[in-house]
Structure 1
Amino acid sequence: MERNKAIKDKVNEEDNKVFALLSNYLNNKPDFISKEEIDEIVKYGVSIEYAFNVIFAAALGLDIVDKVDDADLFNKYFNKMSHKLDANEYYNNSYFKNIKIPTIKKGNSELKYEKYKPYEVFVCNDIITTREGRQIPQIGFFETEFIFPAFLENNRIWMTITPNEIETMKEAVAKAFGNVLTFGLGLGYYAYMISEKDEVESITIVESNEDVIQLFSKCILPQFKNTQKIKIIKADAFEYAQEHMAKGNYDFVFTDLWHDVSDGIDMYLSMKEHEKQSPSTVFMYWIEKSILCYL
């Protein structure tokens, strides 16, 4: 038992170290790595992924050559953590292909395109948990510039459609059916993707931000093929869940109200309390797998 506890404590310690280093990097220098640095290492016959990981480890402050613990951390995490992504895979996504975002402002809200620089690091999927209980964040990078739609609030990026949103919504898109309720509108990615499904009959979207609703209704919704499926309700999500959700006879409910895990835990737990009112409804939550890692 003591040995098992020691192993678990060691894994938790290493998890925490990797998350702390990654968080600092993403917050302060996500575009630190350059193509020139990658090319300098690749010419020695290694892959782009390996070159990236070596430079990335150094940027995080790890010495994988002279420090055994740092080399061990590198071997345990980095190959499973970082991913070279194919930009064309995401540009061929039906939302990217069919929906065009204008540059427009309304109040403190703004629609525009943002971009990742080549080799810029970003979160690209939910945290994965290994058989030994190790929690490994998922980060991605592109070899070329990647342009994506964004919604800004007070000049701060609040909602985007990036590989992270696409990957972490795949399961909820695949499982949606019947009369769907979704909390949170954003750029309408989830609503668009499920509106294309024959199994989805209607989509009720609850959103509290009037500027978001107006921008979506004016600039994005008219580009949907199945606009007749969409109904938008301006309301607080938790008030609607408490007072109206059970009366709506919804088959499937998807909640996407938070920016990331840090601001999502409390809202996730609050919304989970409302599930008991609708026992026959299927509920799913954005980045739930990552949130559960912290509970």
Structure 2
Amino acid sequence: MERNTVIIDKITEDNYKVFALLSNYLNNAPDFINKEEIDELVKDGVSHEYAFLVILAAAFGLDVVDNPEDKELFNEYFKKMIHKLEANDYYNNAYYKNIKIPTIKIGNTELKYEKYKPFEGFVCNDIMKTKEGRQIPQIGFFETEFMFPAILENDRIWMTITPNEIETMKEDIDKAFGNVLTFGLGLGYYAYMVSEKETVESVTVVEINEDIINVFNKYVLPQFKNAEKIKIIKADAFKFAEKNMSTSKYDFVFTDLWHDVSDGIDMYLKMKKYERLSPNTVFTYWIEKSILCYL
């Protein structure tokens, strides 16, 4: 029993260490790794992916050759954490192919394309949790520049459609059926993808930001093939959930109100309380797997 406790404590310590290292990297220098460094290692016969994770580990001050603890961290986390992504896998996504985003600004809301630089690191999927309790962030990079749609609020990126959104919404899109309710509009990615499904009859979107609604209605919604399925309601998500959700008899509810885990936990827990008002409805939440890792 004591040995198991020691192992669990060590894994918890490793989890914290990896998250702290990655947080500093992603927030302060996500484009730290450059093509020249990668190419030097690739010349020796290693893959771009392996070159990336070796350079990142070295930047974190890890000695993966002579230090047993660092080597274990490298093998248990880094090798399962870093992913080279193919741009065309995402450019061929239905939304990317069919919806064109203009560069415009209405009020404090700006619609534009942002980009990842070659070899810039970013979160690309939910946290992977192993049976031992290791929590492994998923970090992706592209070999080439990658453009993606974004909404900025007061010059701060608020909503994007990146590989992370595409990957973390796949299950929530696949499960959707009947009359769907979604909290949070953004660029309408979720609304578009589920509206394309024959098993989805309607998509009601609750959004409180009038600028985002106006931008979406004028520039994005007209491009939807099944725009007639979409209904936008300007309202506070939690007030709507409390007063209107159960009476409208939705079959499926998807919540996407947060920017990331850091601002999502409290809203997730608050919205979960309203599930009991609609016992026959299926509820899902964006990046729930990652949020649960922190609870």
| Alpha-carbon distance in 2 for matches of 1:157, 1:206 | 20
Please state how far the C-alpha of 1:60 moved relative to its aligned partner.
Answer: 2.2
Residue 41 of structure 1 is matched in structure 2 by 41
Tell me whether 1:135 sits opposite 2:135 in the alignment: yes
Residue 84 of structure 1 is matched in structure 2 by 84
Please state how far the C-alpha of 1:72 moved relative to its aligned partner.
Answer: 1.6
| Alpha-carbon distance in 1 for matches of 2:25, 2:162 | 19
Tell me whether 1:11 sits opposite 2:28 in the alignment: no
| Residue identity matched to 2:205 | I
Secondary structure of the residue aligned to 1:171 is: helix
| Alpha-carbon distance in 2 for matches of 1:270, 1:182 | 16
Secondary structure of the residue aligned to 2:138 is: strand
Structure-1-length-normalised TM-score: 0.99
| Residue identity matched to 1:271 | M
Q: Percent identity?
A: 76
Tell me whether 1:73 sits opposite 2:49 in the alignment: no
| Alpha-carbon distance in 2 for matches of 1:135, 1:74 | 14
Please state how far the C-alpha of 1:63 moved relative to its aligned partner.
Answer: 2.4
| Residue identity matched to 2:134 | R
| Residue identity matched to 2:35 | K
Residue 111 of structure 2 is matched in structure 1 by 111
Residue 25 of structure 2 is matched in structure 1 by 25
Residue 230 of structure 1 is matched in structure 2 by 230
| Alpha-carbon distance in 2 for matches of 1:288, 1:82 | 21
Matches within 5 A, 1:218-257: 218-257=218-257
| Residue identity matched to 1:260 | D
| Alpha-carbon distance in 1 for matches of 2:63, 2:107 | 48
| Alpha-carbon distance in 1 for matches of 2:61, 2:273 | 42
Structure-2-length-normalised TM-score: 0.99
Tell me whether 1:96 sits opposite 2:71 in the alignment: no
| Residue identity matched to 1:20 | A
| Alpha-carbon distance in 2 for matches of 1:169, 1:46 | 32
Secondary structure of the residue aligned to 1:248 is: coil
| Residue identity matched to 1:71 | K
Secondary structure of the residue aligned to 1:247 is: coil
Unpaired runs of 5+ in structure 2?
none
Please state how far the C-alpha of 1:66 moved relative to its aligned partner.
Answer: 3.5
Please state how far the C-alpha of 1:65 moved relative to its aligned partner.
Answer: 3.0
Runs (4+) of structure 1 exceeding 3 A deviation are none
| Alpha-carbon distance in 2 for matches of 1:45, 1:179 | 53
- Mean Cα displacement is larger for which, 48-57 or 180-189? 48-57
Residue 158 of structure 1 is matched in structure 2 by 158
Please state how far the C-alpha of 1:64 moved relative to its aligned partner.
Answer: 1.9
- Mean Cα displacement is larger for which, 224-233 or 65-74? 65-74
| Residue identity matched to 1:70 | D
Residue 290 of structure 2 is matched in structure 1 by 290
| Alpha-carbon distance in 2 for matches of 1:73, 1:249 | 48
Secondary structure of the residue aligned to 1:284 is: strand
Residue 60 of structure 1 is matched in structure 2 by 60
| Alpha-carbon distance in 2 for matches of 1:152, 1:178 | 32
Residue 274 of structure 2 is matched in structure 1 by 274
Secondary structure of the residue aligned to 2:247 is: helix
